[in-house]
């Protein structure tokens, strides 16, 4: 049976720029089931990034709540500090971004092992090589980021995001810096992870082809979410 | 796997030139600091060593006579004033006195040294009492003269080397053209004695035509009251009393101002180096804001980030400090030469004494100051919110 | 993982060493034995080579230039063994290369010699062919030293080369050629006169070994 892994309840986010008030999100409610691949699309300023940030516990909402596997995170107006947010994040999420953000002085293998230096989920040992092999980067393990291509870097970033066995993978414009061929490859990898490993994926993307891979698209307009 | 320390270490290689420059800054300041601390210790040790080597703790000499034989050499043999030899006997009667030895210092002009000639210095000493005052003298060849009026000489290591003399050779006293036979050549003592020629007292008196002496060396009884003895000696006519503890105090006072000034320079050097450290680490943190944000998404706690940046500071300071100390030890001799050129009086022997304890102390200071400097950048890094930093690019 | 750390450490070390090399100055040779230097090189070089503009100093010793075999060769050429505790294989010899502008014009070299009452320091100024331009006793301890240090005595040596003194025997004090013509102005100081000649011969032999015979005249 479909299990709800992530639920947004009336999430609101208001920014203050000087005296100006900006409503980036206006009470969004939706739920995501385990094993779903959801893509959020919309123009700039639509609130898609803001929503995904909240879903991924990268930010605190002004109002509303987030329920993660049955557990209420923000419970009313509770503002979580960095430490608490970090604790939630590392248990549940893996993140990939448009700019890869690999550490240039560490090898591919070390980059992927990096999260383990800070937090090791029980049973997450020996994942590094397995994941790299799975993503087709087994032959590049001792290379530095400067020695591999953009597409390869994003694979490494994905491997890094997976090393602590996250329940949900958050992808913010993962193909934004790649050409169409590599974008397709990354898209296929994500699809594969979703289908065969059952990984829940929440993605933000401008690329309609990529978004269609998931099967569920949510369009954002003026801080509101619309299922497509 | 990779540990947090390895991450910190590798981060320093990102901007190699910048890391290297910061390292050089720390290295130089720790070099200065450890050399200065070593000098502080070394100078006092060397001074003590010189004074101990004199064999006697007090000297009585005619008023107006300069302290060192070397200074006498520079000023020439004229202008020396004399005291009666009988004074030595009366001083011996004092209860605080263990031994006395009468000494006559004379200098003769040798026109055949170089283009304008030079001074040759001689010490007339009593073979019955002088050698006993200096029991640590070792001989390279031969030994002391026994006969108080023999035409013999004992040469210091360097004096013999300059004249290419061995035991059995003759030397010539310039001006007077008296020949003496070399009966002993000493090993190096590291003191002024290395350049001295010792002659029996009566012999030198005969050569110079004087029956007086210039100095009385006094060895004080172990638990005697030196101050009391000094007071008694002050009362003697026409003489001045030179106490080596006084000499040491005067010299130490002379250089203490220099020491304070130089230590201030060291402190300033450290402050400058640390400002460099703060700048380097801060800049590297600001350049890595996004990355730090990403680390936080991976599960790094604020304390982890703080520790990471602080560890980088620690590595920089430790490596720079160790390198600086290493250089200081290597070039200790060169620093020695430099210092001798600057200071008015420099005792013989190693001036810059750096031992393990001093090295560790310097390293501890550098690392501590470095860690304090690193607090702000590390704290700033720890406070980074992933969202703000990742979004920085726009 | 360990490999990349080792690589990095090596990289760091290389960087540091390269920059240190810039700071390292040439070390002064630390010899055990005592050498023979001019008391005031700036003044003395100018005096012995009036049209010189500068000089360069280098050091040579028998043990570094050829060891025991060289010592025996030098002793054979000198005609006498090395004596005592001061005439040893590791004695550093100071050679001054004298320049006029960029052109080398000659050499100055001194040796220590045991005299009757003290050390004798004998210096020669040579041109590029090894001919004596000046003979200078920097130091001598003797009642009659002034006679041997008189410029008149020194002038007797001008124009002499190693060839003229090669057959002189320092042990007996006899030899053919121009050396036999040399007059001793101080007969009372025969020992020192002979010592000065031995020193001169040793000086020229060493200069030949260190400078003139070595690689076509360049040390």
Residue position matching structure tokens 């006997």? B89
Closest CA of chain A from C11, distance in Å: 13
pLDDT for the residue numbered C27 = 27
Determine contact: C94 vs chain B, CB below 8 A.
no
C202 backbone φψ class: left, alpha, beta (φ>0; ψ -120 to 50): alpha
The number of residues in chain C equals 219
| Max Cα-Cα span within chain A | 54
B284 and B380 housed in the same domain: yes
| Per-residue pLDDT tens digits of chain B, which is 394 residues long | 788 888 888 888 888 888 898 889 889 888 888 888 887 777 777 777 766 666 777 888 877 655 544 455 455 545 557 888 888 888 888 888 888 999 998 888 887 777 777 777 889 999 998 988 887 788 988 999 989 889 999 999 988 988 899 999 999 998 888 999 999 999 988 777 888 899 999 999 999 888 899 889 888 887 777 778 888 888 887 788 878 777 777 777 777 777 788 788 888 888 888 888 888 888 888 888 888 888 888 888 889 999 999 999 999 899 999 999 888 888 877 777 776 776 655 665 566 667 788 889 889 998 998 899 889 889 888 888 887 776 644 3
Average pLDDT along chain A: 87
Which chains neighbour B (Cβ–Cβ under 8 Å, 3 or more pairs)?
A, C
pLDDT at A7 over 60: yes
- A-chain CB neighbours of B284 within 8 Å are none
pLDDT digits (tens, 9 = 90+) for A133-184: 888 888 988 999 999 998 899 999 999 999 888 889 999 888 888 888 888 8
> Which stretches of chain B are assigned E, i.e. beta strand?
58-62, 97-110, 118-125, 139-142, 152-155, 170-173, 178-186, 197-200, 215-220, 239-243
- Binary contact (B301, A83; C-beta < 8 A): yes
Domain-embedded: residue B245: no
Please tell me which residue, A200 or B270, carries the higher pLDDT value. A200
Give B323→chain A minimum CA distance, Å: 24
> Distance, in angstroms, between B308 CA and closest chain A CA?
11
| Whether the predicted pLDDT of C170 surpasses 70 | yes
Cβ neighbors of A99 (< 8 A, separation 6 or more) are A177, B290, B393
In 3-state terms, what secondary structure has residue C131? coil
What's the confidence (pLDDT) of residue B200?
A: 95
Task: Tell whether B232 and B261 lie within a shared domain.
Answer: no
CB atoms B2 and A110 under 8 Å: yes
Q: Do B23 and C16 touch (CB under 8 A)?
A: yes
pLDDT of residue C203: 94
> Does residue B208 lie in a domain region?
yes
Domain span at B312 = 4-50+251-393
Cα–Cα distance for residue pair B365/B30, rounded to 1 Å: 9
The distance of A219 to chain B (nearest Cα, Å) reads 22
For residue C95, is pLDDT > 90?
Answer: yes
Q: Do B297 and A93 touch (CB under 8 A)?
A: yes
DSSP class of residue A155?
A: H
Cβ within 8 Å, pair B299-A89: yes
Q: In whole numbers, what is the pLDDT of chain C averaged over residues?
A: 82
- Residue predicted with more confidence, C153 or C178: C153
Q: Are residues B297 and B346 in the same domain?
A: yes
Q: Tell me how far apart the alpha carbons of residues C170 and C122 are, in angstroms, rounded to a whole number.
A: 15
Domain ranges of chain C: 32-212
Residue of C136, C144, C140 lying closest to C190 (CA atoms): C144
- Residues in A closer than 8 angstroms to C1, CB to CB, are 107, 109-110
CA distance, residue B394 to nearest chain C CA (Å): 34
**Strand A224-227's sheet: what is its strand order?**
A93-97, A168-172, A200-204, A37-41, A216-221, A224-227
Contact B112 C149 (CB under 8 A): yes
pLDDT surpassing 90 at residue C112: yes
Distance CA B326, CA B300 (A): 37
A105/B11 Cβ within 8 A: yes
CA distances from B328 to A202, B19, B30, B366, B387 (A): 59, 21, 9, 15, 47
Nearest-Å Rg of the Cα atoms of chain A is 17
H/E element holding B202?
A: helix B201-208
B94 in a structural domain: yes
Q: How far is C8 from chain A, CA to nearest CA, in Å?
A: 10
Mean pLDDT of all residues in A193-214: 88
pLDDT higher at A141 or A83: A141
Q: Domain A4-227: state its class.
A: alpha beta
| B316 in any annotated domain | yes
B216 and B186 housed in the same domain: yes
Q: Which residue has the higher pLDDT, A53 or C19?
A: A53
Residue A40: partners with Cβ closer than 8 Å, 6 or more residues away: A48, A51, A52, A202, A203, A204, A205, A217, A218, A219, A220, A225
Whether B302 and B55 have beta carbons less than 8 Å apart is answered as: no
Q: Are residues B118 and B224 in the same domain?
A: yes
The answer to whether C14 contacts chain B (CB < 8 Å) is no
Is A103 an interface residue toward C (CB < 8 Å)? no
Flag if B301 and A118 touch (Cβ within 8 Å): yes
Helix axes B332-342, B16-54, angle to 10 degrees: 60
Q: Could you tell me how many CB contacts below 8 A there are between chain A and chain C?
A: 8
Looking at the complex, report in whole angstroms how far the Cα of residue A86 sits from the nearest Cα belonging to chain B. 6
| Domain spans of chain A, in order of start | 4-227
At B127 the pLDDT is: 92
B30 & B118 share domain: no
Q: Do B170 and B226 belong together in one domain?
A: yes
Q: Is the pLDDT of residue C63 over 70?
A: yes
- State residue A122's pLDDT score: 75
Does residue B26 form part of some domain? yes
pLDDT of residue C215: 55
Q: Nearest C-alpha of chain B: how many angstroms from A63?
A: 18
Task: Verify that B375 and B324 share a domain, yes or no.
Answer: yes
Residue among B23, B164, B327 whose CB faces C114 most closely = B164
Looking at beta carbons, which residues of chain B come within 8 Å of A81? none
Contact between B179 and C117 using a beta-carbon 8 Å cutoff: yes
Query: Does residue C5 belong to the interface with chain A, where contact is any CB pair within 8 Å?
Result: no
Distance from CA of B301 to the nearest CA of A (A): 6
Q: Do B170 and C15 touch (CB under 8 A)?
A: no
Do B105 and B28 share a domain, yes or no?
A: no
Residues in A closer than 8 angstroms to C4, CB to CB, are 107, 110, 142
Nearest CA in chain C to A111: C1
pLDDT at C23: 29
Contacts of C146 in chain B (CB under 8 A): 111-112
Distance CA(B67)–CA(A132), nearest Å, equals 82
Number of cross-chain residue pairs from B and C with Cβ atoms under 8 Å apart: 83
Provide the pLDDT for residue C216.
Answer: 47
Name chain A's partners: 3 or more CB pairs within 8 A: B, C
The count of structural domains within chain B is 2
The backbone torsions φ and ψ at residue B11, rounded to the nearest 5 degrees and listed phi first, read -60, -30
A13–B contact, CB cutoff 8 A: no
Residue in chain C closest to B8 (alpha carbons) equals: C5
Selected for mutation to probe chain C from B2, B155, B163 (highest C CB count within 10 Å) is B163
Interface check for A142 against chain B (CB to CB < 8 A): the answer is: no
Residues from chain C contacting residue B179 (CB–CB below 8 Å): 117
Residue C140: name the closest of C149, C153, C150, C130 by CA.
C149
User: What is the per-residue pLDDT for A169?
Assistant: 93
Touching check for A118 and chain B: CB below 8 Å? yes
pLDDT at C18: 35
User: Cβ separation of B9 and C8 shorter than 8 Å?
Assistant: yes
Q: Find the mean pLDDT for residues C102-122.
A: 92
Helix (H) or strand (E) segment spanning residue B342: helix B332-342
Pick the residue from chain A with its C-alpha nearest to C1: A110
pTM, to two decimals: 0.57
């Amino acid at each position: 049976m479909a299990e709800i892994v992530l639920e947004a309840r009336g999430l609101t986010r208001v920014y203050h720029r000087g005296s100006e008030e900006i409503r980036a999100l206006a009470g969004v409610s939706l739920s995501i089931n385990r094993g779903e691949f959801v893509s959020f699309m919309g123009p700039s300023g639509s609130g898609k990034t803001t929503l995904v940030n909240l879903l991924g516990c990268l930010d605190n909402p002004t109002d509303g709540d987030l329920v993660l596997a049955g557990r209420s995170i923000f419970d009313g107006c509770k503002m979580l500090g960095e430490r608490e947010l970090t604790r939630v994040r590392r248990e549940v999420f893996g993140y990939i971004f448009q700019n890869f953000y690999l550490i240039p002085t560490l090898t591919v293998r070390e980059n992927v092992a990096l999260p383990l230096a800070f937090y090791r989920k029980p049973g997450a040992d020996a994942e590094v090589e397995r994941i790299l092999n799975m993503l087709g980067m087994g032959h590049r393990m001792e290379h530095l980021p400067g020695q591999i291509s953009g597409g390869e870097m994003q694979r490494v970033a994905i491997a890094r995001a997976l090393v602590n066995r996250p329940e949900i993978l958050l992808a913010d414009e993962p193909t934004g810096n790649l050409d169409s061929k590599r974008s397709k490859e990354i898209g296929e990898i994500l699809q594969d992870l979703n289908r065969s490993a059952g990984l829940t994926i929440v993605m933000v993307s401008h690329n309609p082809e990529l978004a269609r891979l998931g099967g569920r698209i949510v369009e954002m307009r003026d801080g509101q979410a619309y299922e497509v | 796997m990779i540990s947090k320390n390895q991450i910190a270490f590798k981060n320093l290689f990102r901007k190699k030139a910048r890391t290297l420059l910061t390292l050089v800054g720390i290295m130089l300041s720790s070099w200065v600091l450890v050399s200065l601390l070593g000098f502080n210790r070394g100078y006092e040790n060397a001074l003590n060593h010189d004074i101990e080597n004199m064999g006697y703790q007090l000297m009585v000499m005619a008023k107006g006579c300069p302290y060192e034989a070397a200074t006498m050499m520079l000023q020439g043999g004229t202008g020396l004033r004399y005291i009666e030899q009988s004074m030595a006997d009366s001083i011996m009667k004092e209860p605080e006195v263990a031994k006395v030895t009468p000494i006559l210092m004379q200098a003769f002009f040798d026109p055949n040294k170089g283009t304008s000639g030079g001074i040759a210095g001689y010490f007339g000493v009593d073979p019955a009492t002088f050698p006993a005052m200096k029991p640590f003298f070792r001989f390279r060849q031969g030994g002391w003269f026994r006969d108080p009026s023999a035409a013999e000489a004992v040469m210091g290591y360097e004096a013999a080397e300059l004249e290419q003399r061995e035991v059995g050779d003759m030397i010539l006293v310039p001006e007077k053209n008296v020949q003496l036979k070399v009966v002993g050549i000493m090993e190096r003592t590291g003191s002024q004695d290395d350049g001295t020629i010792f002659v029996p007292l009566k012999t030198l008196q005969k050569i110079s035509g004087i029956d007086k002496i210039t100095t009385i060396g006094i060895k004080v009884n172990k638990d005697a009251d030196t101050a009391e003895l000094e007071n008694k000696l002050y009362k003697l006519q026409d003489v001045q009393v030179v106490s080596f503890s006084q000499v040491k105090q005067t010299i130490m006072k002379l250089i203490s101002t220099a020491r304070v000034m130089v230590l201030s320079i060291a402190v300033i050097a450290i402050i400058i180096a640390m400002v460099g450290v703060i700048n380097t680490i801060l800049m590297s943190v600001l350049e890595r804001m996004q990355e730090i944000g990403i680390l936080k998404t991976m599960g790094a706690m604020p304390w982890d980030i703080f520790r990471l940046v602080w560890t980088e500071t620690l590595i920089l300071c430790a490596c720079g400090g160790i390198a600086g100390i290493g250089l200081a030890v290597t070039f200790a001799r060169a620093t020695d030469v430099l210092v001798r050129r600057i200071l008015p009086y420099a005792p013989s022997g190693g001036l810059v004494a750096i031992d393990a304890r001093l090295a560790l102390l310097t390293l501890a200071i550098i690392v501590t100051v470095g860690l304090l400097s690193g607090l702000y950048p590390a704290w700033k890094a720890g406070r980074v919110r992933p969202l703000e930093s990742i979004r920085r690019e726009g | 993982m360990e490999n990349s750390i080792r690589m990095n450490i090596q990289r760091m070390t290389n960087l540091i060493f390269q920059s240190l090399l810039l700071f390292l100055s040439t070390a002064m040779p630390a010899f055990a034995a005592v050498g023979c230097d001019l008391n005031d090189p700036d003044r003395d070089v100018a005096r012995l080579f009036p049209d010189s503009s500068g000089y360069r100093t280098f050091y040579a010793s028998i043990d570094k230039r050829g060891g025991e075999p060289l010592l025996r060769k030098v002793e054979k050429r000198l005609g006498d063994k090395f004596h005592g505790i001061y005439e040893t294989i590791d004695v550093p010899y100071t050679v001054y290369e004298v320049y006029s502008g960029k052109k080398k014009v000659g050499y100055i070299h001194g040796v220590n010699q045991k005299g009757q009452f003290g050390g004798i320091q004998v210096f020669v100024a040579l041109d590029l062919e090894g001919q004596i331009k000046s003979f200078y006793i920097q130091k001598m301890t003797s009642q009659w030293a002034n006679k041997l240090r008189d410029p008149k005595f020194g002038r007797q040596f001008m124009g002499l080369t190693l060839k003229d003194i090669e057959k002189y025997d320092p042990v007996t004090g006899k030899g053919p050629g121009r050396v036999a013509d040399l007059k001793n102005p101080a007969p009372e100081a025969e020992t020192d006169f002979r010592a000065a000649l031995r020193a001169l011969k040793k000086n020229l032999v060493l200069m030949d070994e260190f400078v003139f015979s070595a690689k076509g005249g360049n040390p």
